[in-house]
């Protein structure tokens, strides 16, 4: 089993600048989805290939995975996908990346690291300060998607996001998946594993109001 990366380590203090939309994508005006903790990016490669009218950006804290994904991206000449290395909170909290969240239509946190011990909860990626940044910068009508197979982590994320009055949870039956970043309901690697083993999944969608 892999060791989780401690996002609070000073190793991640250096912040990568997110390039402008024109530098990253062929069609800079396409709707933009951000996947946080995208690992090797398999999910985003699948999405980018089937939904060419969307742009996708993945942020991942394991540098080797990001380097490999960037290499694969160049080889395949995919023009609606981009990867950034680092701690997502620090990257999005950085003033040089201020422009970015204003352009994001939706964000996914898929199966984030659970950090089971209470003293490690602060290493979880969904934190009140992070949600505050999202709530200050995202446009009204933008979405956050959370998904996990760890009930306790789900409750923690749900409580953190719901405590911010700028987000309201959406009833899934009222949500128009066909217009979303993932109309074909592509699954992440972890999701495929969890579904294959008939483990429960907990998920929720929130809209910025």
Ligand X SMILES: C[S@@+](CC[C@H](N)C(=O)[O-])C[C@H]1O[C@@H](n2cnc3c(N)ncnc32)[C@H](O)[C@@H]1O
Rounded to 5°, the CA angle 44-66-186 comes to 15
Stretch that binds ligand X, among 19-27, 44-52, 99-107, 187-195 (CB under 6 A): 187-195
Residues 22-81 that bind ligand X (CB under 6 A): 36-39, 59-62
Measured distance CA(68)–CA(176) in Å, rounded: 34
For residue 99, count other CB atoms closer than 10 A to its CB.
11
CB 154 within 8 A of CB 194: no
Selected from 34, 81, 88, 157, the binder of ligand X by CB under 6 A is: 88
Identify the residue among 68, 93, 164, 189 touching ligand X (CB under 6 A).
189
Please check whether residue 113 is in contact with residue 88, taking contact to mean a CB–CB distance below 8 angstroms. Answer: no
Q: Say how many residues make up the chain.
A: 209
Please answer whether residues 39 and 2 qualify as being in contact, where contact means their C-beta atoms are separated by less than 8 angstroms: no
Question: Binding to ligand X by residue 188, rule CB under 6 A?
Answer: yes
98 is annotated as an active-site residue: no
Pick the stretch among 45-53, 110-118, 163-171, 176-184 that binds ligand X (CB under 6 A).
110-118
Q: How many residues bind ligand X (CB under 6 A)?
A: 22
Please identify every residue annotated as catalytic: 113
Provide the binding-site residues for ligand X, judged by CB under 6 A. Answer: 5, 7, 36-39, 59-62, 87-89, 110-113, 125, 188-191
């Amino acid at each position: 089993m892999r060791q989780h990366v401690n996002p609070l380590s000073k190793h991640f203090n250096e912040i990568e600048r997110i390039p402008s939309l024109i530098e990253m994508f062929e069609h800079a005006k396409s709707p933009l989805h951000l996947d946080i903790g995208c690992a090797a990016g398999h999910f985003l490669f699948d999405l980018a290939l089937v939904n060419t009218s969307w742009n996708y950006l993945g942020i991942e804290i394991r540098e080797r995975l990001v380097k490999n994904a960037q290499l694969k991206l160049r080889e395949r000449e995919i023009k609606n996908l981009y990867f950034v290395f680092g701690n997502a909170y620090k990257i999005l909290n950085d003033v040089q990346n201020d422009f970015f969240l204003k352009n994001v239509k939706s964000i996914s946190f898929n199966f984030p690291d659970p950090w089971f011990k209470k003293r490690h909860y602060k290493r979880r990626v969904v934190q009140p300060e992070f949600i505050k940044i999202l709530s200050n910068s995202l446009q009204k009508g933008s979405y956050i998607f959370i998904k996990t197979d760890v009930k306790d982590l789900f409750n923690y994320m749900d409580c953190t996001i719901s405590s911010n009055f700028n987000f309201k949870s959406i009833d899934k039956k009222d949500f128009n998946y066909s217009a979303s970043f993932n109309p074909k309901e592509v699954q992440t690697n972890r999701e495929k594993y969890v579904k294959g083993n008939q483990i429960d999944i907990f998920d929720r969608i929130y809209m910025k109001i």
